[in-house]
């Protein structure tokens, strides 16, 4: 880098890199909260089944289906252990997003506050822009909506 032209090229490259990083950070900072959900809605296809018909009969627009969220778990500074979370559909009603899960016979839902918390809170925390989580019981043609509300606690 003895020549003056080399310094100009390096300065131009560094300037472009800084400008690009600033633009990415600004885009991330001003991204609307529901953009993750819109990306999920565009990612998955919808199968034509009884659950979709039941949701549509109840005023929901089914946006996408069969989602898998990959997670990694680290225990005591050990290796990353992969795991996944699944939900069945992403639905929209009155401009509000809902995650949809099937109630399965082999894993029945415990309809107590602690049972719902243990089973569904992770979805509410991963997708705070969702209005709720809809549990579909296809055998009984029944929908139940679960919402979590953080209350002012005692100290």
CB 4 within 8 A of CB 67: no
CB 146 within 8 A of CB 133: yes
Rounded-to-10 torsion of CA 45, 49, 54, 60: 10
Q: How far apart are CA 87 and CA 85, in angstroms?
A: 7
The pLDDT tens digits of the residues spanning 28-43 come to 777 665 566 666 666 6
Structural tokens at position 150: 């953080």
| pTM of the complete model | 0.68
Please give the pLDDT value at position 139.
Answer: 82
The pLDDT tens digits of the residues spanning 85-98 come to 888 888 888 988 89
Helix ranges, the chain (H) = 4-29, 35-43, 50-57, 113-126
State the architecture of 35-146 in CATH terms: 3-Layer(aba) Sandwich (3.40)
Please give the pLDDT value at position 19.
Answer: 92
Q: How far apart are CA 93 and CA 59, in angstroms?
A: 6
Please give the pLDDT value at position 53.
Answer: 85
Q: How far apart are CA 152 and CA 147, in angstroms?
A: 16
Walk along the chain (155 residues) in steps of 10 and give the mean pLDDT of each run: 78 92 81 62 69 86 82 90 88 89 85 91 86 88 89 68
């Amino acid at each position: 880098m003895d020549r003056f032209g080399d310094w100009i090229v390096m300065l131009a490259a560094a300037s472009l890199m800084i400008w690009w990083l600033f633009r990415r950070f600004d885009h991330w900072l001003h991204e609307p909260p529901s953009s993750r959900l819109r990306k999920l809605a565009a990612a998955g296809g919808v199968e034509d089944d009884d659950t979709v018909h039941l949701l549509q009969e109840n005023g929901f627009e089914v946006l996408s289906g069969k989602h898998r969220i990959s997670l990694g778990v680290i225990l005591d500074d050990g290796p990353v252990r992969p795991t996944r979370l699944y939900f069945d559909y992403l639905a929209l009603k009155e401009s509000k997003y809902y995650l949809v899960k099937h109630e399965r016979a082999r894993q029945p839902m415990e309809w107590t506050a602690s049972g719902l918390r243990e089973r569904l809170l992770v979805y509410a925390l991963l997708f705070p822009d969702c209005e709720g989580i809809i549990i579909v019981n296809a055998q009984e043609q029944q929908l139940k909506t679960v919402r979590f509300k953080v209350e002012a606690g005692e100290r």
